[in-house]
Amino acid sequence: MNLLDAIVEHQNSLLLFYRKLEERFEENSVIRTLWHDMAADVALQVESLKSLPASSWNQFKNAPDGSFESAVKAVKEITAPPEDAANILLCDCFEISLRLSEPVVLKINARMVRLLRKNTAAPALNLYILIKSYVTRLARATESFAGDPMLIRRAQLLLAGLEKEVQEPAPEIRIPTLNTMSAKTQKKPLSGKANAKAAKETANIPPGNVKTASSKPAKNAPIKSKATSGKTPKTAKRA
């Protein structure tokens, strides 16, 4: 049995179960409408899966991790819903719905949407909307009518798990440690006062090895001649 046939057979079994529940709770219009809508959600999913091209199913079949083959085996091992729903309790209806939906939604449908989104956006979006509508309806109905905190938690986890599986895996970001960082990267920046001091010292250093007049010590300054002292030089006296 291929992947499509396995999923359709399972979904048809779930669809039949919801129709039986619709008859079982025919006296309660709210509950009867709930199971009618759940059956309609499943029927739309089946139609959407059947409309996928053969290339998409080949893509699922050739998934590198072989996840779909293992998922199909898990679906086949699920206990089928009871044939007789005449005496089934409302709380048990939600437990059976979750048990039948969890492996298909998380292991098959969500991964299908993720793979379809890489190639064609329209079929992926259509399938995602149908699956999300079904799971959201199941979660809200469980919260409203199940009366069991464990079942309510399972429904919430199913909805959160769908969103997680549909999203692309986030790339791993590696942050370098202090040991792997270069010395240049590890060098701490100078503080404000240190920067000002370094800038001042740099400004006072002349470029290269060229000596400027201002850098000579005072003792090397030119000595004034004796003519400035008021005495006549010998050369002038001889004249």
Domain count, the chain: 1
199 in a structural domain: no
217 in a structural domain: no
42 in a structural domain: yes
49 in a structural domain: yes
43 in a structural domain: yes
Task: In whole angstroms, give the CA distance from residue 104 to residue 41.
Answer: 14
115 in a structural domain: yes
195 in a structural domain: no
Predicted pLDDT at 112 = 87
The secondary structure of residue 108, as a DSSP letter, is: I
**pLDDT tens figures, 85-133:** 888 999 999 999 999 999 899 888 888 888 888 776 677 888 999 999 9
Q: Higher pLDDT residue, 57 or 130?
A: 130
**pLDDT tens figures, 156-208:** 999 999 999 888 654 443 444 444 444 444 444 545 555 555 545 544 545 44
Place of tokens 């004249």: 239
Q: How far is CA 39 from the centre of its chain?
A: 32
Q: What is the pTM of this model?
A: 0.67
SS3 169: coil
Q: Cβ(78)–Cβ(10) under 8 Å?
A: yes
Task: In whole angstroms, give the CA distance from residue 66 to residue 68.
Answer: 6
| Among the listed residues 3, 122, 20, the one whose alpha carbon sits nearest the alpha carbon of residue 69 | 3
Task: In whole angstroms, give the CA distance from residue 158 to residue 134.
Answer: 11
175 in a structural domain: no
Place of tokens 């919260």: 143
Q: Which domain holds residue 110?
A: 3-166
Task: In whole angstroms, give the CA distance from residue 43 to residue 130.
Answer: 10
Provide the Cα torsion 180, 184, 188, 190; round to 10°: -170
214's CB contacts (< 8 A; 6+ apart) are: none
